[in-house]
Amino acid sequence: MGLILEDVAKSFDSTEVLRCVSLAARDGEFVCILGPNGSGKTTILKLIAGLEQVTGGRITVNGATAAGDVPIGYVFQQHALLPWRTVRDNIAYGLELAGRDKQTRERALDHYLELMGLKDFAGHLPRQLSGGMQQKVGIARALALEPPIVLMDEPFAALDAQTRNILQDELLGAWGVTKNTVLFVTHSVDEAVFLADRIVVLTARPATVKECVPVDLPRPRDRTSVEFNTVRRHVMQLLGQETDHSYIEETRELPRLRRLYPEVPETL
C-alpha cells in the first residue's frame, strides 16, 4: 500500500510552509525530494514520522493514519549517535526501545553490521569513526528495525564528494536487500538522479509538488551518460524556476553541462 500524502498542509504560527502537498510512494520505491531552501522538505519527513502534526490533509502509511501504528526509520543529517555506546550498541538502541528480545536483537545486529560493512567496527565508539562511518551506523540503526518506511534527511550532506559517492553506492546495495520504501531529502540533483526511482520537486514556500520526475535508468547508473544528464538537466531547470540561484552546488556544474548540452541556458 505504501505511503500516501493527500493535500497535506502545514503552517507554523502565521507562516504557511506546505500547501496541498500530495504524493505517493509505492512499497519498495526510492523517492528523492528536492526543493528550494525553506520549502518544507524536512517538515514533510517530520509529518510522516509524527514529529509534527499536519494543519490540513492526511498522511497514511500502509493504510494507517497514525504514525505510531507503523514503524518508521529516520536517518538524520547529523548521525545522532550516543557517544558512550559502541557501534553495535548504537544500532541496538532502537531495537531495545521497541522491546525486541535479546535473541532477535542479536540476529538483527549481526545481519545489519554485515550488510553495512560495519562488522569490523562493532566495538568502536563513534568518536573513533570517520564521518562517513558514523552515518553508516545511523543508517544501520534505522534499518535494523526493518521498518516499511525509511526517512532520510540529507544524510550525506556534510561528507566530502568521494565519501558521499561511496555511501550512495552502499546505500543502494543495502536497499536492494531490504527493499524498504525510502524518502530521501537532498539538495543535490546529481545525488537524486543517481539514487531515485522518482524525484519529487517542490515549489518555493508555501510548497506544493511542482513535478514528479521518473528516473527510468538502469542501475548502477553512469553519471557521465547522456541519459543521466538529460534527467539531471530537466530537474535543474525545474529547480531554477523556483530557487533564484539558491542551488549553488549545482550551478557550479553548469559549465560542464553546457559542454554536453549547448542549449542549457546561461542561468537557470
C-alpha cell belonging to residue 16: 504557511
pLDDT digits 0-9 by tens, 134-193: 999 999 999 999 999 999 999 999 899 999 999 999 999 999 999 999 999 999 999 999
- Looking at residues 194-222, what average pLDDT do you find? 95
pLDDT above 50 for 247:
no
pLDDT of residue 14: 85
**Percentage, residues of the chain above pLDDT 70:** 88
Pairwise CA distance, residues 177 & 169, whole Å = 13
| Domain assignment of residue 139, yes or no | yes
Structural domain of 112: 71-147
- Looking at residues 230-254, what average pLDDT do you find? 71
Q: ω before 71 within 30° of 0 (cis)?
A: no
What SS3 state is found at 226? helix
**Which residue is associated with the grid cell 542551488?**
247
| Domain assignment of residue 199, yes or no | no
| Domain assignment of residue 101, yes or no | yes
**Which residue is associated with the grid cell 517530520?**
46
Pairwise CA distance, residues 221 & 165, whole Å = 12
| Domain assignment of residue 205, yes or no | no
Going by C-alpha positions, the residue among 181, 123, 118 that lies closest to residue 149 is: 181
**Residue 195 or residue 251, greater confidence:** 195
- Looking at residues 12-37, what average pLDDT do you find? 93
C-alpha cell belonging to residue 212: 514528479
Provide the sign of the torsion angle of the four alpha carbons 129, 131, 137, 138, taken in this order.
positive
pLDDT digits 0-9 by tens, 35-70: 998 889 999 999 999 999 999 999 998 777 766 667
Query: How many structural domains comprise the chain?
Result: 1
pLDDT digits 0-9 by tens, 63-116: 777 666 678 899 988 878 999 999 999 999 989 988 888 899 999 999 999 999
| Domain assignment of residue 127, yes or no | yes
